[in-house]
């Protein structure tokens, strides 16, 4: 099994090359970034996170169980208050204490392989079928939670036919602060007949506005324990926050010129933030572009196409979306999962 990587989050120009040399000596892969969004995105699968005085405050926000080491340039001193504040396992002056750090990083105590990944699904334009695709991806996972993070959504529970099912909705999470146990969350959410756990909106007087702080807490609690599929509305602060947490973003693109133009802008924005993004081409009543056109214009890989599903709207209205899925929808979900797992 490939060893877990070490995340180097060091800005100090003296400490950074020393950290790189030490990690290289362990034989572990390394991830090198000081971007707080990327630190959060990768920390859950890292064997350890190396930080300095600049990145230590952000390291304090990482999930419990993350191994953190504070590094300082020789001759020091080490800021022990900062080390405690960022929950560092130890602090070292480098290069003087390189052997001690090397020994700590070489310990054979890799975290267990993550059982799931975080996939964000977003439409290039309205009416792209984002919720349907997100639901299909989640239904195709052996172990997953589907999060409805569209503040204007009618409720993905309606799409899945579980609107009457009891369970925790967004309004029940409104007063929660910080991390919550993944097992407790999964057990509390409404579930489909196939066992898919769903976090969605409440209705009527119980409706509650989704906020990015709570969404981040939920994703942080679930990731690494189960696959998480997040249904997003583009252009919102909630989406912006969730994109940073995703291992892979899926852009659902209708096969129409305006949608492709919108997709190009979104792809540029995500690539600038080092976010992995792939496309799924959705054919509606008619199509003016094909997959090759989309790849050329929007500069992303189209991993699947969904044909016009003329009967699906009626089916979901009466019985909800469930397995077995329509063939092209199932194939698209499978292709997305394969791409995300390779991220």
Can you give the CATH number for the domain in which 92 is found? 3.40.50.2300
In a domain, 113, yes or no: no
State the residue range of the domain holding 47: 6-105
**Residue 208 pLDDT:** 59
Q: How far is CA 97 from the centre of its chain?
A: 35
In a domain, 209, yes or no: yes
Together in a domain, 233 and 201: yes
In a domain, 110, yes or no: no
Angle at 185 between CA 89 and CA 206, to 5 degrees: 130
Task: Among 70, 105, 140, identify where a domain stops.
Answer: 105
Together in a domain, 126 and 229: yes
Residue 117: both structure tokens together = 């990944």
In a domain, 192, yes or no: yes
Together in a domain, 235 and 306: yes
Give pLDDT tens digits for 261-282.
Answer: 999 999 999 988 888 899 999 9
Q: Who's near 265: CB < 8 A, 6+ residues apart?
A: none
Rounded to whole angstroms, the Cα distance separating 160 from 7 reads 39
Together in a domain, 210 and 300: yes
Together in a domain, 148 and 289: yes
What is the length of the chain?
343
Together in a domain, 11 and 152: no
Give pLDDT tens digits for 330-343.
Answer: 999 999 999 988 76
Together in a domain, 61 and 203: no
**Residue 245 pLDDT:** 83
The answer to whether the beta carbons of residues 273 and 37 sit under 8 Å apart is: yes
In a domain, 300, yes or no: yes
Which regions in the chain score pLDDT beneath 70?
1-2, 107-115, 174-180, 204-208, 224, 343
**Residue 134 pLDDT:** 95
Together in a domain, 76 and 154: no
**Residue 342 pLDDT:** 78
In a domain, 1, yes or no: no
Together in a domain, 88 and 162: no
How far, CA to CA in Å, does 264 sit from each of 67, 83, 89, 162, 314? 38, 43, 43, 35, 32
Together in a domain, 71 and 188: no
**Residue 224 pLDDT:** 66
Q: How many CB atoms lie within 10 A of CB 258?
A: 11
In a domain, 112, yes or no: no
**Residue 37 pLDDT:** 84
For 216, half-sphere exposure in the C-beta direction (CA atoms, 13 angstrom radius) is 19
In a domain, 33, yes or no: yes
**Residue 228 pLDDT:** 94
Q: How many domains does the chain have?
A: 2
Together in a domain, 31 and 165: no
Q: What is the CATH number of the domain that holds 238?
A: 3.40.50.300
Task: Among 81, 105, 129, identify where a domain stops.
Answer: 105
Task: Among 82, 105, 128, identify where a domain stops.
Answer: 105
pTM (two decimals)? 0.77
**Residue 175 pLDDT:** 43
Together in a domain, 13 and 98: yes
């Amino acid at each position: 099994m490939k060893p877990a990587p070490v995340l180097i989050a060091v800005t100090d120009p003296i400490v950074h090359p020393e950290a790189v040399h030490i990690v290289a000596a362990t034989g572990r892969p390394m991830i090198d970034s000081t971007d707080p969004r990327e630190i959060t995105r990768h920390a859950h699968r890292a064997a350890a996170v190396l930080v300095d005085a600049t990145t230590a405050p952000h390291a304090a926000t990482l999930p419990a169980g993350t191994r953190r080491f504070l590094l300082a340039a020789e001759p020091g001193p080490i800021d022990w208050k900062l080390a405690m504040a960022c929950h560092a396992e130890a602090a070292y002056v480098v290069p003087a204490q390189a052997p001690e750090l090397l020994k700590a990083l070489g310990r054979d105590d890799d975290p267990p392989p993550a059982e799931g990944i975080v996939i964000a699904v977003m439409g290039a334009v309205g009416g792209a079928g984002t919720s349907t695709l997100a639901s299909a991806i989640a239904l195709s996972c052996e172990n997953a939670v589907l999060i409805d993070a569209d503040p204007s959504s009618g409720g993905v529970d309606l799409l899945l036919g579980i609107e009457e099912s009891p369970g925790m909705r967004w309004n029940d999470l409104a007063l929660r602060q910080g991390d919550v146990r993944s097992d407790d969350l999964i057990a509390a959410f409404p579930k489909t007949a196939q066992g898919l756990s769903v976090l969605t909106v409440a209705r009527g007087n119980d409706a509650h506005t989704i906020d990015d702080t709570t969404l981040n807490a939920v994703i942080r609690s679930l990731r690494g324990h189960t696959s998480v599929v997040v249904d997003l509305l583009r252009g919102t602060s909630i989406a912006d926050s969730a994109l940073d947490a995703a291992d892979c973003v899926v852009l659902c693109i209708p096969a129409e010129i305006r949608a492709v133009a919108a997709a190009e802008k979104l792809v540029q924005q995500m690539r600038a933030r080092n976010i992995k993004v792939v496309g799924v081409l959705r054919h509606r009543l008619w199509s003016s572009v094909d997959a090759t056109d989309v790849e050329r214009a929007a500069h992303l890989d189209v991993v699947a196409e969904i044909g016009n599903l003329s009967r699906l709207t009626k089916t979901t209205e009466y019985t909800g979306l469930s397995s077995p899925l329509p063939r092209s929808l199932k194939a698209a979900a499978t292709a997305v999962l394969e791409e995300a797992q390779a991220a």
